[in-house]
Amino acid sequence: MYKLFLTFRYLISKWVAVFSVLSVWLCVAMVLIVFSVMDGFLDNIKQHSRGLLGDIIIDNKTLQGFPYYDEFSVYLKEQMPGEIDVVTPVIYSYGIMREPRTKFTQPVRIVAIDFDAYCEVNDFYDSLYYERYYPNTTSLGPVQIPVAGVDSKGKPFLPQELEEAHQKYLKNRDESKVDKTDFDETNYNSPHGVGYFFNEYGTPAMEGDPLPGIVIGTDVAYSRNKEGQYDRGLQRGTKIILTILPLTSGGNIAENPIPVAMRNVDDSRTKVYEIDKVCVYVDFKLFQEYLSMGSLELVDGTYSKPRASQLLVSLTKGQDYNALQPKIEEVWAEFLGTLAGNVTPIDARLLETVGVDTWETRQQAFIQAVEKEKVLVTILFAIISIVAIVLIGVVFYMIVLQKTRDIGIIKSLGATSAGVAMIFIMYGAIIGVIGGILGILTGTTVVANINELQSWLASLNPKMQVWSPEVYTFDRIPSVVKPMVIFAVFCMAVLTSTLGALVPALKAAWVWPVKTLRYE
Amino acid sequence: MVLARATKLHKSYSLGKTKVSVLRGVNLEVNEGEMLAITGSSGCGKSTLLHILGALDAPDQGTVSFAGEDLFAAGTWRRDAVRNRDVGFVFQFYHLLPEFNVLENVLMPRMVGTSTLDWMSSRKSAIAKAGEILGTVGLKDRLKHRPKELSGGERQRVAIARAIMNEPRFLLADEPTGNLDAKMGKGIMDCLRSLNQKGQTIVLVTHDPLIAKQADRQVRLVDGRIEP
């Protein structure tokens, strides 16, 4: 009984214990905040990385791609009808994007997609900006320029098709999800909202030559301000020239670079800067021809097989992509077996390097880099925690030195050495529990309000803006508090505090009462 | 009846490189119910002998038997238990716990010897007993006072109350009046005398012949041995 009694009495009567609680408190809060931000960052990266891929990716990692993708798509669905949902081909290439009006040029990664299937296989649809506010108006097919005019009351008014689409959005929109900084519906030429050409003297109309549509990665063309808002300088329908370099199946340049005139129909923001900064999305069939990856007549009069860079596969609900990846690999091997003897040597070479990956293994390098950063941060904070242990150790050592005589008295009353050690070990554990609880409360409160806190700091002094949306992938500080992390951090707090108290506790246990009681 | 018996006790201390022999073959018997005074000059080993008798210190050689049990043949835990239940110490400098009030100090030996669960059930009776003992030593109205709020005599009476809280068979007092003036010293001796009259075995260490005279029996320690 005396152990509990003495522990609590020392706890409330020793001011020096407050420093131990404070150090544990701050350490726990700090670790929790850092872990939550790192976890949030990692989760966002994972979520968005998957967004533009499918569950399963099939490719040979070359620019010239591989043939028989269409036949395999059909074969795969036949072999695994219950597991495969959508299979869609993608072509990757590189080009130069030029905006003729401003002469602005930029190297881009071309992603040629079948728009509808690509939207089904991943989260691409959700990343589209204009499509969100004007549903079903984004298309990669030939499009004209939508020009806003004014109605009889002088209010800006878009062509009927777009106005109707916007009414649909307004009818179905979820007020809680509306990002006011993202869209200004009162002004078609808002610096941070939608951008449409506007004729203040005319009526709304679709003008200009119909040109293939191009969806631009948001960060390719636009930059963000400090509030994280994009300045959409290119109006919807702006003419874009995309210069491409076709490759033969042997990997040689097929012909001179081809400039393709297109219209900006939308922009895609996956929230992964590395994707949004370089990718533009175009129509698969059109660019398959432009990039010489379609069916071409060969010198012997036969036709080459069309090629795609990649096949993206989405699985039906509830399927485990890790479990199905080997099975799809087997189906691919079977499929190759059915082709044996009927494939040209060049095609055979392209086919033999085709591999089947899950989205996770494909993004592993990127995800692992962030995970390694997390490990690095964990190590840094482990070192800081050691400082906390040392601090607690020093504080307890001081307490033990101050209380040596008391320890002698308690031992003279019959207390065992283990009992005396337990007083200080319990003391350490209680400091860990109190500091841990306070730290978790502080940490979770800070994490829950981290963006508001940052805005407040920035309002005091702009230099205190620690998160720059124009630099980082995400415009808000991502954070997620996981119960397991809270539990682990709390246990670590109690454990480290107890460890900190261990050496002083052992010293207390070794106190020889006669020595301490002989003199005053 | 012999309550405690020390046989051929030897004890030495190291002072730097010098080894100082404090006890050199001490033989002593303490009878149940008696008040024994151990006298001797300063540094002659009186306190060391007292501490060994109370199992607070260990001899280099020799044995101490308490109620027939060889204390130093038993384990540490057994000696801790004996110290808690059968021995009460009163020190020259009182050695009260400063963070605890008078009542809590007196309750401490009971708490040390009781598990948390047992304490829950016996707490009230223990408090009543501590209050009763403090009443007998004249401190009934000082229960909630901290040691620093008491006079030297009062502190020593708290120390006596604490020493007898567990009704030990053996009360060991090390210069109990050494830090008090004559009047307060007399009060403490009256208190000890009264306990002895009720049957309490007391061993008293003092260098004051007047205090020693109040004991039933005196032994003198000279050069680490009991003077014949």
Strands B201-205 and B170-174: parallel
User: Do the Cβ atoms of B114 and A410 come within 8 Å?
Assistant: no
With contacts defined as CB-CB under 8 Å, which chain A residues touch B56? 411-412, 513-514, 517
What is the pLDDT at residue B117? 87
Q: B113 to chain A, minimum CA–CA distance in Å?
A: 7
Nearest Cα to A58, choosing from A50, A66, A49?
Answer: A66
Q: B91 to chain A, minimum CA–CA distance in Å?
A: 8
What is the pLDDT at residue B17? 84
How many domains does the structure of chain B reveal? Answer: 1
Contact of B147 with chain A, judged by CB distance below 8 Å, is answered with: no
Q: Which chain A residues touch B if contact means CB-CB below 8 Å?
A: 1-2, 4-5, 9-10, 13, 405-406, 408-417, 419, 513-514, 517-520
> What does the pLDDT look like over A194-227, one tens digit per residue?
788 888 788 888 999 999 999 999 888 888 766 6
Q: Which of A4, A405, A414 has its CB closest to that of B109?
A: A414
Alpha-carbon distance of B108 to B97, in angstroms, equals: 9
**What is the token pair recorded at B101?**
């009030």
The residue ranges of every structural domain in chain A are 2-47+366-517, 54-130+212-358
At residue A43's C-alpha, the angle toward residues A38 and A44, to 5°, is 100
What is the pLDDT at residue A217? 93
User: Do the Cβ atoms of B112 and A412 come within 8 Å?
Assistant: no
As a whole-number percent, the residues of chain B with pLDDT over 90 amount to 54
Contact of B119 with chain A, judged by CB distance below 8 Å, is answered with: yes
Q: Show Cβ contacts of residue B67 under 8 Å, excluding neighbours closer than 6 positions.
A: B3, B4, B86, B169
> What does the pLDDT look like over A234-286, one tens digit per residue?
889 999 999 998 887 777 887 789 999 999 999 998 877 778 889 999 999 99
Is A73:A306 a contact under the CB 8 Å cutoff? no
Q: Which residue has the tokens 């009476």?
A: B157
ipTM entry: 0.92
What is the pLDDT at residue A372? 87
What is the pLDDT at residue A299? 79
Alpha-carbon distance of B103 to A169, in angstroms, equals: 77
Task: Give a yes or no: residue B190 inside a domain.
Answer: yes
> What does the pLDDT look like over A416-440, one tens digit per residue?
999 999 988 998 899 999 999 999 9
> What does the pLDDT look like over A27-63, one tens digit per residue?
899 889 988 888 888 887 777 767 678 899 999 888 8
Q: Write out the residue range of the structural domain in which residue B12 sits.
A: 2-86+168-226
Task: Give a yes or no: residue B48 inside a domain.
Answer: yes
Q: What is the mean pLDDT of chain A?
A: 86
Task: Give a yes or no: residue B160 inside a domain.
Answer: no
As a whole-number percent, the residues of chain B with pLDDT over 70 amount to 100
Which one-letter DSSP state was computed for residue A411? H
Is A221:A278 a contact under the CB 8 Å cutoff? no
- Please indicate whether residue A224 or residue A115 has the higher confidence score (pLDDT): A115
What is the pLDDT at residue B137? 85
What is the pLDDT at residue A75? 95
With contacts defined as CB-CB under 8 Å, which chain A residues touch B91? 517
What is the pLDDT at residue A390? 85
Alpha-carbon distance of B45 to B22, in angstroms, equals: 5
Q: Which residues of A10-48 are buried (b: 16+ CB within 10 A; e: fewer)?
A: bbeebeebebbbbbbbbbbbbbbbbbbbbbbbbebbbeb
What is the pLDDT at residue A15? 78
Alpha-carbon distance of B77 to B79, in angstroms, equals: 5
Contact of B56 with chain A, judged by CB distance below 8 Å, is answered with: yes
Contact of B111 with chain A, judged by CB distance below 8 Å, is answered with: yes
User: Do the Cβ atoms of A517 and B91 come within 8 Å?
Assistant: yes
Task: Give a yes or no: residue B17 inside a domain.
Answer: yes
What is the pLDDT at residue A181? 55
What amino acid is encoded at A368 in this protein? Q
A95: helix, coil or strand?
strand
As a whole-number percent, the residues of chain A with pLDDT over 90 amount to 38
> What does the pLDDT look like over A389-412, one tens digit per residue?
788 888 888 888 888 888 889 999
Looking up residue B36, the CATH number of its domain turns out to be 3.40.50.300
Contact of B13 with chain A, judged by CB distance below 8 Å, is answered with: no
CB pairs under 8 A between A and B: 73
Query: CA dist A382 to A30, A377, A387, Å?
Result: 11, 8, 9
What is the pLDDT at residue B162? 93
Average pLDDT over residues B29-53: 91
B140: helix, coil or strand?
helix
Task: Give a yes or no: residue B214 inside a domain.
Answer: yes
Q: Which of A4, A406, A517 has its CB closest to that of B97?
A: A406
Q: Which of A410, A513, A517 has its CB closest to that of B112?
A: A410
Query: pLDDT-derived band of residue A189, with 50, 70 and 90 as boundaries?
Result: low
User: Do the Cβ atoms of B108 and A517 come within 8 Å?
Assistant: no
Number of H helices, E strands in chain A: 19, 14
Q: Show Cβ contacts of residue A392 under 8 Å, excluding neighbours closer than 6 positions.
A: A20, A23, A24, A428, A431, A496, A497, A500, A501
With contacts defined as CB-CB under 8 Å, which chain A residues touch B85? 414
What is the pLDDT at residue A54? 86
A265: helix, coil or strand?
strand
What is the pLDDT at residue B153? 87
> What does the pLDDT look like over A305-354, one tens digit per residue?
999 999 999 999 989 999 999 999 999 999 999 988 788 888 898 999 99
Task: Give a yes or no: residue B92 inside a domain.
Answer: no
User: Do the Cβ atoms of B113 and A414 come within 8 Å?
Assistant: yes
What is the pLDDT at residue A441? 96
With contacts defined as CB-CB under 8 Å, which chain B residues touch A413? 83-84, 89, 108-109, 112, 162
